[in-house]
Chain A
């Protein structure tokens, strides 16, 4: 305990000295600066110069991945120390130093499956935000049936020759490296012929093309591989044993997406700019109640489910580590609920809930339309809702195949 308290002091002092004021939400400096998400990488963009300082400081400490051992560039902190660090970051409203698929997905998989050399090469660069990663899983012909993928990697002696196409590669046009599933054993049963390969996107033959979504935004790309030479040392794990890594990594992705967009869902059942205040604003109030009684009834059942779901997230935390199948429940319920939440918000706003562009609508209104459309992808990416229900019925309930 004493050690933890002295660690807390140390953290406080360090944060005071190193976290730039504009990197603290709610501070005066923050109000006067550009909001900016930092994804790092070779071509990193820092709209606010302070965000680079903040990333460099946090990266040097290894605190973007506090529990990773120091030899891989991490913070080398214990679970308890990490909790203290998070509490202190929260206390000053510190913004996330780095958003990164490397942190959320790849690094945990590398820690488990990569060889020593690969860990020492790649993990520190993820932690410092030097390399931005993207995920090459889905293909035009392989969506939910991911294991049917056909991008092939031929053994050419000292390297693999990769040919094929990936799709739904998040931010591929901005990424430096891609971790990809490729077929190395075309004669093997489909799950047994897949390998996990790390590919530098600067290599000749790699190209990307953004996909415009219904929201008008393009967070995803198509990624093409045309006779791309990949050194053999970029294979993670054994050849043809990539499916195990792929599944472990999907788990990290599901955990991540189930928390996606659920800001405002808490064990207390509250929410800020939520459907209740929107409904009161646009439908009006009668005796302090949402004036439209049918909508009020829909809101109520929705909010009660949200309250119970928030409590379920808390309960899972209180129960300690949870089996992977329960992550499927959170992914399914979280994304479905989030879709419904956005549907209710735009419905509450009437003609202001479907605004697209122009000065007659405020930014929040226009953003909400895009956010609503974006949620439609949440129950598809990272395993569709239907796939999650399959996982629950087979792995939790033990129903036969």
Chain B
């Protein structure tokens, strides 16, 4: 496996870079935030992304996608991450598409995938119920009553949960809290009877919700993947998501770092550019090294996933953990090196720090993934 982009991936990156720079610079995000946009993303922008084919990158050609793979969507995530572009790309084009492509029945694929590819629906996956990511701690219950599955429970921190048309819900069909067995995925309409969506405002001003399921009744055909195998399925779906998210976080780091380096070159104090100070130069050089390591971890994880290597879990944890630690470092140092303006709302750099902390919590922070990596490596 080569740790470089192929021609196709390079083209996707170039196109995403142009798009992000021209259509969605950070001012686009700022505008949505300032206007208290109820969706937190822009429908016109999403339509343009769909027209570029981004919503179908993980979807097979027979269902209207391009099947360009995880590396393809990840390089796009990296570029839009550089400008903090909010969109349904992650929850729909990565998580939703991956879940249904990998685990859907032929009927489910025919029903949902063309609509995702064409941008007619967006999706969200609801996994967590506590403050920390822990799929095995699911207690949302699904019981079979008269040929219908009845779902009850409350899901938290659902990415794009406040806007999604279709929800993928992890629920317990047997066993007890803490067990990774006995879990099952269900796919259902967000406006199904008994689904209550409570929008949550987070520090990064993106679209999230807590979702209450109150005697939601669905047919047996709503099961996604095998009954009782939801724990393993969600692991694979989220690993793909973690790699794509790590790529977005890499983009966040790269952009914050570039803004900071530019600032060090133009800001003067004591009659000289502050970039001449060795105390800042060395910290900048160390950040450069960490970003280089992150690029390699993300590259290896995404290319490995597309080549179906059997180390997906460990590589996803490596990518998410390293990307998270690097972004933590870079976002903090960037604010510090900007001095006073770094803590003003007027300046963009603070957005990167807020996004950094939220992205860190999504589907497991560095601690979660270090523990997982250690267990998988037999440390």
Which A residues lie at the B interface, using CB under 8 A?
267, 269, 276, 288-290, 296-297, 299-301, 303-305, 307-309, 311-312, 314-315, 318-319, 329, 332-333, 386, 388-390, 392-394, 396-401
Out of B264, B293, B299, name the residue touching A305 (CB < 8 Å). B293
Given contacts A329-B288, A400-B276, contact A297 B370 (CB under 8 A): yes
Spot the interface stretch: B8-16, B126-134, B355-363, B371-379: B371-379
Contact partners of A319 in chain B: CB under 8 A: 3-4
Inter-chain CA distance A256–B288, complex, in Å, is 22
Inter-chain CA distance A309–B290, complex, in Å, is 9
Beyond A315-B300, A399-B265, list 16 extra A-B contacts (CB 8 Å). Answer: A276-B378, A297-B374, A300-B374, A307-B297, A315-B295, A315-B296, A332-B285, A333-B293, A386-B282, A389-B281, A389-B285, A389-B286, A393-B285, A399-B264, A399-B276, A400-B276
Q: A312 near B292 (CB under 8 angstroms)?
A: yes
Interface contacts (Cβ under 8 Å), in number, total 114
Contact partners of B269 in chain A: CB under 8 A: none
Contact partners of B293 in chain A: CB under 8 A: 305, 308-309, 311-312, 333
B376 CB to nearest chain A CB (Å): 11
Contact partners of B374 in chain A: CB under 8 A: 289, 296-297, 299-300
Q: B273 near A400 (CB under 8 angstroms)?
A: yes
| A interface, over-half SS | helix
Inter-chain CA distance A392–B296, complex, in Å, is 18
Q: List 10 A-B contacts (CB under 8 A).
A: A297-B370, A300-B379, A304-B321, A311-B297, A315-B4, A329-B289, A390-B282, A392-B285, A393-B281, A397-B284
**Per-position contact with A for B244-275: 1 when CB-CB < 8 Å, else 0?**
00000000000000000100110000000101
Interface residues of B in 213-269 (CB under 8 A from A): 261, 264-265
Q: A392 near B288 (CB under 8 angstroms)?
A: yes
* Interface residue? B278 (CB, 8 A): yes
* Interface residue? B318 (CB, 8 A): yes
Out of B285, B370, B378, name the residue touching A397 (CB < 8 Å). B285
Q: List 8 tightest A-B contacts by C-beta distance, closest first.
A: A393-B281, A311-B296, A392-B285, A315-B3, A308-B293, A312-B296, A399-B275, A389-B285
Inter-chain CA distance A195–B90, complex, in Å, is 59
Q: A301 near B4 (CB under 8 angstroms)?
A: no
Contact partners of A390 in chain B: CB under 8 A: 278, 281-282, 285
B336 CB to nearest chain A CB (Å): 16
Q: Whose C-beta in chain B lies nearest to the C-beta of A296? A: B379
Inter-chain CA distance A65–B294, complex, in Å, is 35
Inter-chain CA distance A269–B376, complex, in Å, is 12
* Interface residue? B322 (CB, 8 A): yes
Contact partners of B284 in chain A: CB under 8 A: 393, 397, 399
| B interface, over-half SS | helix
Given contacts A300-B370, A311-B300, A398-B265, contact A393 B282 (CB under 8 A): yes
Contact partners of B371 in chain A: CB under 8 A: 300
Question: Among A289, A392, A399, which residue has the most Cβ atoms of chain B within 10 A?
Answer: A399
Given contacts A311-B300, A392-B288, A397-B285, contact A304 B379 (CB under 8 A): no
Given contacts A392-B285, A393-B282, contact A303 B379 (CB under 8 A): yes
A111 CB to nearest chain B CB (Å): 29
Contact partners of B375 in chain A: CB under 8 A: 289
* Interface residue? B36 (CB, 8 A): no
Inter-chain CA distance A401–B276, complex, in Å, is 5
Contact partners of A389 in chain B: CB under 8 A: 281-282, 285-286
Q: A397 near B288 (CB under 8 angstroms)?
A: yes
Given contacts A303-B377, A311-B299, A399-B284, contact A318 B273 (CB under 8 A): no
Q: B285 near A318 (CB under 8 angstroms)?
A: no
Q: B289 near A267 (CB under 8 angstroms)?
A: no
Q: Whose C-beta in chain A lies nearest to the C-beta of B325? A: A301
Q: Whose C-beta in chain A lies nearest to the C-beta of B280? A: A399
A307 CB to nearest chain B CB (Å): 6
Contact partners of B378 in chain A: CB under 8 A: 276, 288
Contact partners of B296 in chain A: CB under 8 A: 308-309, 311-312, 314-315
